[in-house]
């Protein structure tokens, strides 16, 4: 089914950008309104890691078998369209935290094991992991949309749009009843000769190789203060994380902060309002690079009448909040 309706997308962070590219592929007319001067864009400080394994028990992340084949197809296609590289698949290594945890995991290896894991004596390798250079993705997409005449740099104050506002969405009267649970995160970029540049190290934090001996280190979590200011407390915490991962000597290049648009049930908000001509594509938390492509495709297909959004992600699960 062809869609003739034109949509207005508010926000050119990661969620809005990924949704816009799916609309473009599906030939759904749209325009993006974005006002960087009004709201700071937390996507600019995203860790950008995609990882099919979660938690200390090495469980598969939610919908991993659907999400990861799709993102490994989508991002290379987008790189070709934009003519730049921002998708970096690489293994992720999780050292055993201590002998006690090692024994606990090894004893349960048969129950835990799945296709994403490769076991070694000192830890576990995670396959189909990597990172996305979100800053490059957003910048190249912005240029592309501008050339196509699809981008308007202005603040939108209306109600008939698809809102991709990140944590700012909780201040939108349309969505203020939704159970947002934003979390501030800080990370730093460093230069050091110590860690490997061949894989992501994940031990009570992460070290992502950026090339030329530069690394991204993260991340902190905070639920009380939501400014765009970095803090000395976070820098101290990140430095301690580095030490625990075996890095003592480094040069600090920069420190960044952002607010993760997380939700209380750890599931995104996708779909149209129950009785307003408005939609939302938000709530991806710290997993935006892996969740947003899959759900942008699902929602695009729903708009075209091909399928419906997964019930755990669909905004329909909260329609009862809008009718109160």
pLDDT tens digits, 80-118: 999 999 999 999 999 998 999 999 999 999 888 889 999
Residue 188: strand pairing partners: 217, 255
**What mean pLDDT, rounded, does the chain reach?**
94
Comparing 277 with 281, the larger pLDDT belongs to 281
* Structure confidence at residue 37 (pLDDT): 64
Question: Quick check: is 144 in a domain?
Answer: yes
CATH number at residue 159: 3.50.50.60
Domain housing 210:
183-260
3 state SS of 246: coil
What mean pLDDT is predicted for residues 196-223?
95
Give bridge partners of residue 89 from the DSSP assignment.
Answer: 130
157 with 194, same domain: the answer is: no
The whole-number average pLDDT for the span 285-301 is 97
**71 in any annotated domain:** no
Last residue of a domain, which of 206, 235, 260?
Answer: 260
Residues 148 and 217 occupy one common structural domain: no
Same structural domain, 159 and 192: no
Residue predicted with more confidence, 198 or 157: 198
Give the separation between CA 230 and CA 208, rounded to whole angstroms. 20
**Does 115 fall in a domain?**
no
- Both 315 and 195 in one domain: the answer is no
* pLDDT at residue 56 greater than cutoff 60: yes
Same domain, yes or no: 189 and 306: no
Range with lowest mean pLDDT among 35-49, 117-131, 163-177, 285-299: 35-49
Q: Is residue 225 domain-shared with residue 287, that is, in the same domain?
A: no
The verdict on 31 and 140 lying in the same domain is yes
Question: Among residues 237, 260, 283, which one ends one of the domains?
Answer: 260
Mean pLDDT over residues 143-149, rounded?
A: 98
Q: Is 112 part of any domain?
A: no
Provide the pLDDT confidence category of residue 324 given band limits of 50, 70 and 90: low
User: Computed over its alpha carbons, how large is the radius of gyration of the chain?
Assistant: 20
212: Cβ contacts below 8 Å, ≥ 6 apart? none
Confidence of residue 41 (pLDDT cuts 50, 70, 90): low
Nearest-angstrom CA–CA distance, 34 and 45: 17
Q: How much of the chain, in percent, has pLDDT values that exceed 90?
A: 85
Q: What does 181-198 look like in DSSP terms, one character per residue? A: --EEEEEEEEE-SSS-SS
Q: pLDDT tier at 267 (50, 70, 90 boundaries)?
A: very high
Of 260, 278, 295, the one marking the end of a domain is 260
Residue 160 maps to a domain: yes
Looking at the fold, whether 246 and 153 belong to one and the same domain comes out as: no
Query: What pLDDT band is residue 39 in, cutting at 50, 70 and 90?
Result: low
Number of domains in the chain: 2
Cβ 184 vs Cβ 259: under 8 Å: yes
Assigned domain for 53 exists? no
Given this model, what pLDDT does residue 95 score? 95
Angle at 170 between CA 152 and CA 296, to 5 degrees: 60
Residue 161, phi then psi, degrees to nearest 5: -160, 170
Are 44 and 192 within one domain?
no
> Is residue 249 within 8 Å of 154, Cβ to Cβ?
no
pLDDT value of position 2? 61
Task: Tell me: pLDDT of 43 over 90.
Answer: no
Q: What is the CATH number of the domain that holds 201?
A: 3.30.9.10
139 and 13: one domain? yes
Residue 128 has pLDDT above 60, yes or no: yes
- CB 224: neighbour CB atoms within 10 A? 5
Residue at 149 is within a domain: yes
Q: Is residue 38 part of a domain?
A: yes
- pTM, rounded to two decimals: 0.95
135 contacts 48 by C-beta, under 8 angstroms: no
pLDDT of 38: 59
pLDDT of the residue at 226 = 87
Residues 197 and 167 reside in one and the same domain: no
């Amino acid at each position: 089914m062809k869609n003739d309706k034109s949509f207005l997308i508010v926000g050119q962070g990661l969620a809005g950008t990924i949704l816009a590219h799916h609309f473009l592929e599906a030939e759904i007319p749209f325009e993006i309104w974005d006002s960087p001067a009004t709201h700071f864009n937390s996507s600019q400080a995203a860790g950008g890691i995609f990882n099919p394994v979660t938690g200390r028990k090495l469980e598969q992340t939610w919908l991993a078998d659907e999400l990861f084949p799709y993102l490994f197809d989508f991002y290379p296609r987008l790189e070709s369209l934009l003519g730049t590289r921002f998708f970096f698949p690489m293994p992720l290594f999780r050292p055993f935290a201590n002998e006690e945890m090692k024994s606990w995991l090894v004893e349960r290896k048969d129950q835990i094991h799945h296709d994403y894991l490769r076991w070694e004596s000192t830890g576990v390798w995670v396959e189909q992991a990597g990172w996305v250079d979100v800053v490059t993705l957003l910048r190249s997409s912005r240029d592309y949309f501008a050339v196509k005449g699809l981008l308007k740099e202005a603040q939108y104050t209306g109600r008939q749009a698809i809102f991709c506002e990140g944590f700012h969405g909780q201040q939108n009267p349309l969505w203020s009843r939704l159970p947002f649970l934003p979390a501030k995160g800080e990370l730093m970029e460093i230069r050091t000769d110590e860690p490997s540049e061949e894989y992501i190290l994940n031990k009570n934090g992460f070290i992502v190789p950026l090339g030329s001996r530069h690394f991204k280190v993260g991340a902190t979590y905070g639920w009380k203060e939501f400014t765009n200011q970095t803090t000395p407390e976070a820098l101290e915490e990140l430095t301690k994380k580095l030490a625990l991962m075996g890095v003592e000597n480094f040069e600090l290049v920069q420190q960044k902060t952002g607010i993760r648009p997380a939700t209380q049930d750890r599931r995104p908000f996708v779909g149209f309002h129950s009785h307003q001509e408005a939609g939302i594509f938000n709530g991806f938390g710290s997993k935006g690079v892996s969740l947003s492509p899959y759900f942008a495709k699902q929602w695009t297909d729903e708009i075209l009448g091909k399928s419906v959004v997964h019930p755990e992600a669909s905004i329909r699960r909260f329609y009862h909040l809008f009718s109160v």
